[in-house]
Amino acid sequence: MPKQERAERTRATILDAAAKVFDSQGFVGASLSDILAEAGVTKGALYFHFKSKEELAHELVAEQFSIWPPVDDNGKPGLQTVIDLTHAMARGLQENVRIRASIRLVIEQGTFTDPSPDSYLRWIDVCRDQLDHAQERGDIRKELVTGDIANFLVSAFTGLQISSQVLTDRADLPDRVAGMWRYVLPAIVPPRRLSRFVPEGTAAQTPG
Partner DNA sequence: GACCAAACAAACCGGGAGGTAGGTATTTTC
Partner DNA sequence: GAAAATACCTACCTCCCGGTTTGTTTGGTC
Which positions from 103 through 142 interact with a copy of itself, judged by CB under 8 A? 104, 107-111, 115-117, 120-121
- DSSP-derived secondary structure letter, 69: S
Answer whether 17's CB lies under 8 Å from 11's CB: no
Given a contact cutoff of 8 angstroms between Cβ atoms, the answer to whether 69 and 185 are in contact is: no
Count CB-CB contacts under 10 A for residue 78.
21
| Of residues 27 and 68, the one with the C-beta less far from a copy of itself | 27
DSSP per-residue string spanning 153-175: HHHHHHHHHHHHHHHHTTTTHHH
Any contact of residue 168 with DNA (CB under 7 A)? no
Q: Which of 55, 95, 125, 148 binds a copy of itself (CB under 8 A)?
A: 148
Applying CB under 8 A, which of residues 13, 113, 158, 208 lies at the interface with a copy of itself?
A: 158
Q: Is 2 in the site for DNA (CB under 7 A)?
A: yes
Query: What's the burial of 191, exposed, middle or buried (CB within 10 Å: 0-12/13-18/19+)?
Result: exposed
Stretch binding a copy of itself (CB under 8 A), from 48-56, 85-93, 125-133, 176-184: 176-184
Distance CA 56, CA 71 (A): 26
Question: Which option in DNA, a copy of itself, none does residue 169 bind, with CB closer than 5 to 8 A by kind?
Answer: none
Binding mask 19-58 for DNA (x = CB under 7 A): -----------xxxxx------xxxxx-xxx-xxxx----
Of 6-14, 76-84, 144-152, 197-205, the segment contacting a copy of itself by CB under 8 A is 144-152
Give the range of 2-10, 19-27, 48-56, 89-97 binding a copy of itself by CB under 8 A: 19-27
What DSSP string runs through 99-157?
Answer: HHHHHHHHH-SSBSBSPPHHHHHHHHHHHHHHHHHHHHTTSS-TTS-HHHHHHHHHHHH
Q: Taking CA 161 as the corner, what is the angle to CA 157 and CA 162, rounded to the nearest 5 degrees?
A: 115
Residues that bind a copy of itself (CB under 8 A): 24-26, 28-29, 104, 107-111, 115-117, 120-121, 148-149, 151-152, 154-160, 162-167, 176, 179-180, 182-188
Residues that bind DNA (CB under 7 A): 2-7, 9-11, 30-34, 41-45, 47-49, 51-54
